[in-house]
Each structure stands twice: as C-alpha cells, then as structure tokens.
Amino acid sequence: MVLVKRETRGFVDGVNDEIKAEEANNIRNCMKPYISTLLAVLLE
C-alpha cells in the first residue's frame, strides 16, 4: 500500500482532531462544577 503525502496528512489531521475533541471533552467535564461560579464572577 502506497500513501501519498496528501492522504497521510489527512489521516494525521483527522487523528489530531479526534485527540483535540477528546481533550476538550475532558476539560469541560473537569470544569463543569466551576463554570457557574466563573460566569458569576466574570459577569459582576
């Protein structure tokens, strides 16, 4: 199987996007208990 540069880049970008989405979900879950407090402070 031969991959061209464009196909390889697309694969790497897709994996990178999945990792970023998973990290974002983990961050949101971690911050969930604090979001309302942070918003209240920011909106004062």
pLDDT digits (tens, 9 = 90+) for 1-44: 666 777 778 888 888 899 999 999 999 999 999 999 999 999 98
Q: Who contacts 32 (Cβ-Cβ below 8 Å, separation ≥6)?
A: none
Task: State residue 15's pLDDT score.
Answer: 86
Backbone torsion region of residue 4, taken as left when φ is above 0, otherwise alpha when ψ lies between -120 and 50, otherwise beta: beta
What pTM, to 2 d.p., does this model score?
0.56
Task: State residue 29's pLDDT score.
Answer: 94
